[in-house]
Amino acid sequence: MLKIILALAVILVFNASAYAKKYNFNDILDQSVNNSFQLKAADYNIKLRAQISKEVRSEYFPTLSVVYDNQYTKNLKDETGQNQIVGDTLISSNTLYKNVLRFRAQYNLFDFGVRGKKYAMSKSDIEKEAAIYKRMRRELSEQIIGLYSEIISAYKEKQCYTVLIALYEELFTTKERLFVAGQSSKLNVMDEAVNIARAEDRIKLANIRMKQALDKLSGFTYEEYDANSFEPDDFGGFFVDAANTDEAHALILDYTPENKIYQVDLTNKARELSIKRREVLPKVSVYSDYYFYGSDRTGMFKAVSDLTQSSFGAGFSINMPLFDGFKNMAQRKRMKLELEKIECEKQHVLHELMAQYNSIKSEWQGYRTEYEIQQKTLGLFREKFDMIKRLDQEQLIGKEEYLSTEADFVKQKLETELSYIKYVSASIKLDIFEDNCLERI
């Protein structure tokens, strides 16, 4: 009878997967990444920076332009005279229609490396946005790991206490018979009733925790979950191998996204300061113009058809600021202070990052020790339970002792599984920090 009841309990728990939907950790992580608006925005920032870099690169090419000018001038004294030039303006003393079609090519020949530094800054900005994306994905992965660990732990508790309820109910029936036969006290019967009530409460609490974690997970995956039908796997088959020792884990700050972000900021700020220094130096550019022009005294369209005359001109220009009210000097002093501030912020952020990593590593070491202890304890419980089973087969012990031992073994198995979940979760977090796990899981 006992074996039939336990078999039914196991069937109810484990064969419920026929009605449950299985979920894989890797799939949920990928789904969260694909549906993250923050990561999508970060990805767009990478693409935008790439386009901005192309815009900056355009300064390496010459500019070509065409201008068409149609003008009517009238001599108010109705006299014919000489054309006058005032500044850059040509004043005609005749009454006529004029047309000019100009083609211009212009090229920035030399600017003391300003153009190259701007282009290098634009390329570095792409690397910075990629590092930001990497950091955001790491933070998202940590959140998903925490939620998934909570879901698996609650799921395991529901499974375990469902089996325990069947055992406690059988114990309750057995002790009640012994009480009726006068071989046990009423207190022993009530102990099992309390155990049943506690197990039911643990299932309810585990279901609440699982539902809360699933609701939070839905905010990342945009999928609705049912706590009664959700069946998680154990981190997609991720396992901790023998090489997972203290020496195998180390965080290299130079390779972290945070270091990359601040390193780009420092480099670009230094380039910006260098550009400011070069802005006071002369800039040399060359240009060439090709003109088609014509005129007519009687009509505009006749002037258009008279674009038969042409001319060509070429030259170079040098542009150098002489005095800007000390603006450039003030800007350079400001940039030097900003450079020092970025370096200070970098050291602070990297210090906090290392402290966070050390905290996770300390937790991982603690969970590893806890798991090793739980494994040893489980081995002792298994050895005792195997011995009890042999004694039960030989009918040398009572049913009460057999059921109690099996219940203790099931509870210890749960404690071992929960400690393993925490251990694996911490191991994955460490790998993510060390920038290995996103390719591994």
Does any domain span residue 76?
no
Split at pLDDT 50, 70, 90, the class of 158 is: very high
Is a pLDDT exceeding 90 seen at residue 237? no
Highest average pLDDT, of 87-96, 222-231, 299-308, 334-343, comes from 334-343
Query: 3-state class of 132 per DSSP?
Result: helix
DSSP for 187-254 reads HHHHHHHHHHHHHHHHHHHHHHHHHHHHHHHHHHH-----TTTEEE-SGGG----TT-SGGG----GG
Name the DSSP letter for residue 82.
-
Does any domain span residue 295?
no
Closest to 176 (Cα-Cα) out of 164, 190, 166: 190
pLDDT tens, 242-272? Answer: 446 666 677 888 889 999 999 999 999 999 9
Is a pLDDT exceeding 80 seen at residue 28? yes
For the chain, what is the radius of gyration of the CA atoms? 40
Q: Could you tell me how far CA 352 lies from the centroid of its own chain?
A: 19
Q: What is the pLDDT of residue 191?
A: 83
Closest to 256 (Cα-Cα) out of 396, 161, 356: 356
CA distance 268 to 432: 28
What average pLDDT does the segment 123-152 reach?
Answer: 94
Tokens read off for 223: 């999928």
Tokens read off for 222: 């945009």
Is a pLDDT exceeding 70 seen at residue 3? no
Does any domain span residue 103?
no
Tokens read off for 63: 């500019």
Does any domain span residue 79?
no
Answer yes or no: are the C-beta atoms of 152 and 421 closer than 8 Å. Answer: yes
Q: Which residue has the higher pLDDT, 1 or 62?
A: 62
Angle ∠(394,396,400) on CA atoms, nearest 5: 115
Q: What is the pLDDT of residue 324?
A: 87
Number of domains observed in the structure of the chain = 1
What average pLDDT does the segment 133-156 reach?
Answer: 94
Q: What is the pLDDT of residue 300?
A: 60
What average pLDDT does the segment 352-361 reach?
Answer: 92
Does any domain span residue 155?
yes
Is a pLDDT exceeding 90 seen at residue 298? no
pTM attached to this predicted model: 0.82
Does any domain span residue 87?
no
Split at pLDDT 50, 70, 90, the class of 19 is: low
Q: Which residue has the higher pLDDT, 400 or 374?
A: 374
Name the DSSP letter for residue 281.
S
Does any domain span residue 289?
no
Name the DSSP letter for residue 256.
S
What average pLDDT does the segment 66-84 reach?
Answer: 67
Does any domain span residue 319?
no
Closest to 368 (Cα-Cα) out of 410, 427, 413: 427
Is a pLDDT exceeding 70 seen at residue 17? no
Q: State the DSSP H helix or E strand holding residue 277, giving kind and residue range, or none if neither.
A: helix 257-278
Split at pLDDT 50, 70, 90, the class of 86 is: very low
Least confident interval from 21-35, 97-111, 243-257, 389-403: 243-257
Structural domain containing residue 389: 2-62+112-281+326-440
Q: What is the pLDDT of residue 174?
A: 83
C-beta atoms surrounding 350 within 10 Å: 16
The CATH code of the domain that includes 160 is: 1.20.1600.10
Question: Helix 399-433 to helix 114-180 angle, to the nearest 10 degrees?
Answer: 180
Q: Please provide the average confidence, as pLDDT, over all residues in the chain.
A: 84
